[in-house]
């Protein structure tokens, strides 16, 4: 558990096929409109306290205490009161669909409670117990143990999982045509699959993966724009700026690193 004057954070990168990372954060001060970027995985949130999410379009949401979210392209803002905690369980990109059976693109604006997919008494038990655990490693172990029977059903092997692995392994520096040729599928089929299982088109997902890797690089190495354009295979600065604006809300020139220490800490933990 790491401590900053404004928050406590514990994070684990797991070896599980179902969970990628587990992070627990406790805010020691009030938070108003803390910005987070677009994210390339599904995730489950356990909230302990009143949490508000403000979407890119300005819509303000009082988030459920336990919810599931699909891959999200757009940045958003987070607000809460002092001593609010939350646990983020990061899953695979297709996990939203595997858990719900719902078209991820049609549900991309929804914060779905887990009650329709997990027994309510089990969720309440887990909610109380996870609140008592401080270390992310213990939360991960507990979650996997309690949810084992569900995870067996949710861990589906889909063709799209292999495509996603290719995209992630390439750091998003891959051409759509290369994927279409390798898997012998059309662009329309690939987009239909990605919208259904992930929540966005294949092109947008590649850009989102690349952006997350790029942000990590920017915050660990000082780079100029021309280096970034060359390394991450952007056609020109206009294309780079378009992705920056979409996923972070600012241009590359305006970006000065994470606008809060929590995001910086999370980025560094991802690198480790």
**What CATH number does the domain containing 10 carry?**
2.60.120.10
Q: What was the pLDDT predicted at 266? A: 57
Average pLDDT, the chain: 89
> If DSSP codes are grouped into helix, strand and coil, which group holds residue 257?
coil
The parent domain of residue 105 ranges over: 2-156
Which band of pLDDT confidence, cut at 50, 70 and 90, is reported for residue 191? very high
User: Same domain, yes or no, for 132 and 227?
Assistant: no
In percent, the amount of the chain with pLDDT more than 90 equals 68
Residue 227 lies in a domain: yes
Order across the sheet with 51-55: list the strands: 31-36, 76-80, 51-55, 60-62
Residue 271 lies in a domain: no
Residue 82 lies in a domain: yes
Structure tokens at 125: 């038990």
Q: For 221-233, how does the pLDDT look when each residue is reduced to its tens digit (9 = 90+)?
A: 666 667 777 888 8
Taking residues 40-46, what's their average pLDDT? Answer: 96
φ, ψ of residue 21 in degrees (nearest 5): -140, 160
Q: What was the pLDDT predicted at 220? A: 67
Taking residues 50-62, what's their average pLDDT? Answer: 94
Which comes out higher in pLDDT, residue 3 or 149? 149
CATH assignment at residue 236:
1.10.10
In percent, the amount of the chain with pLDDT more than 70 equals 90
Residue 129 lies in a domain: yes
Which band of pLDDT confidence, cut at 50, 70 and 90, is reported for residue 1? low
Say if pTM beats, i.e. exceeds, 0.75. Answer: yes
Q: For 107-153, how does the pLDDT look when each residue is reduced to its tens digit (9 = 90+)?
A: 999 999 999 899 999 999 999 999 999 999 999 999 999 999 999 89
Which comes out higher in pLDDT, residue 223 or 155? 155
Distance CA 73, CA 199 (A): 9
Structural domains in the chain (count) = 2
User: Same domain, yes or no, for 178 and 132?
Assistant: no
Q: What was the pLDDT predicted at 4? A: 65
Angstrom CA distances, 154 to 18, 92, 97, stand at 8, 11, 9
φ, ψ of residue 171 in degrees (nearest 5): 60, 25
Taking residues 162-189, what's their average pLDDT? Answer: 95
Distance CA 45, CA 171 (A): 26
Taking residues 202-224, what's their average pLDDT? Answer: 83
Residue 45 lies in a domain: yes
Q: What was the pLDDT predicted at 254? A: 78
What is the rounded radius of gyration, in angstroms, for the C-alpha atoms of the chain?
18
Structural domain ending residue among the three candidates 138, 156, 174: 156
Quickly count: other Cβ atoms within 10 Å of residue 120's Cβ: 11
| Long-range contacts, stretch 5-11, CB < 8 angstroms, 24+ apart | 5/29, 6/261, 6/262, 7/261, 7/262, 9/262, 9/265, 9/266, 9/269, 10/134, 10/135, 10/136, 10/137, 11/136, 11/266, 11/269
User: Same domain, yes or no, for 80 and 8?
Assistant: yes
pLDDT(91) > 70: yes
Which comes out higher in pLDDT, residue 183 or 217? 183
């Amino acid at each position: 558990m790491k401590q900053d004057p404004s928050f406590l954070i514990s994070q684990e990168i797991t070896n599980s096929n179902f969970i990628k990372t587990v992070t627990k954060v406790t805010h020691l001060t009030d938070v108003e409109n803390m910005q987070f970027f677009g994210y390339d995985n599904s995730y489950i949130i356990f909230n302990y306290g009143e949490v508000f999410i403000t979407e890119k379009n300005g819509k303000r949401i009082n988030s459920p205490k336990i919810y599931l979210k699909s891959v999200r392209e757009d940045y958003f803002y987070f607000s809460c009161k002092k001593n609010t905690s939350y646990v983020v369980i990061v899953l695979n990109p297709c996990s939203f669909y595997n858990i719900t059976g719902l078209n991820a693109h049609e549900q991309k604006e929804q914060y779905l409670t887990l009650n329709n997919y997990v027994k309510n008494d089990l969720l309440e038990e887990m909610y109380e117990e996870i609140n008592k655990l401080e270390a992310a490693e213990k939360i991960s172990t507990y979650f996997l143990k309690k949810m084992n029977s569900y995870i067996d059903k949710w861990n589906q092997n889909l063709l799209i999982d292999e495509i996603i692995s290719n995209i992630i392994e390439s750091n998003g520096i891959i051409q759509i045509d290369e994927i279409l040729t390798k898997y012998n599928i059309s662009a329309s089929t690939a987009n239909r699959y990605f919208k259904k299982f992930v929540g966005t088109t294949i092109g947008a997902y590649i850009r989102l993966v690349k952006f997350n890797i790029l942000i990590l690089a920017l915050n660990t190495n000082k780079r100029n724009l021309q280096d970034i354009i060359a390394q991450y295979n952007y056609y020109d600065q206009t294309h780079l700026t378009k992705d920056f604006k979409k996923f972070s809300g600012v241009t590359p020139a305006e970006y000065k690193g994470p606008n809060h220490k929590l995001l910086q800490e999370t980025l560094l933990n991802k690198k480790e």
